[in-house]
Amino acid sequence: MRSRFYDLRNPNSVWEEPHGRLGREIVTPNGESLSTISLPGASLCADFLMVPETKIWAGVTVAVHKSDFSAIKIIFQQATSSFVKLIEPHEGTKILRYKDYPDWGWIEVNWLKEQHVEMVPAQTNQALWYSIPYVNKKSPQVVVLALEDIDYMLKEGVETMVLYDS
């Protein structure tokens, strides 16, 4: 079982760990201690983003109810990587994969930065969000996405996908 981690502040910071279940706390390769966080108003499960022509797994997407989207924007302020996108509910209605969900915004992590992707229903609970510690009662900051047991996750979607290993 291997898990993959994406630092949402730096598109070049991706690492894997060959271990079992992920814990509530992790330490990044540079020694930073992080804790899991539940996203307010967000689905507990993630769906996949896939490049339709090649069936390459391009990322994950998580729905966030419109009433909680402003809180999501605050806790994702440090997630500045070019492959992280917060899609407001009104923007989502103009995107084919989200047009049927007018009350929802979206958190997309598209590590391939592909423009043409489709949402593949998976409802996986193996996408975990990690934040830096709270400082002076400020909001936590999500900085890492972890995909627990990526080989199993590839089998969860309704489509057969492949993982691009750069």
Q: Element (H or E) spanning 25, and its range?
A: strand 25-27
The predicted-structure confidence for 150-165, as pLDDT tens digits, reads as follows 777 777 665 667 776 6
Single-letter amino acid, residue 18: P
Q: What are phi and psi of 120, to 5 degrees?
A: -110, 115
Cβ 138 vs Cβ 1: under 8 Å: no
Per-residue pLDDT tens for 81-117? 889 999 999 999 999 999 999 999 999 999 998 889 9
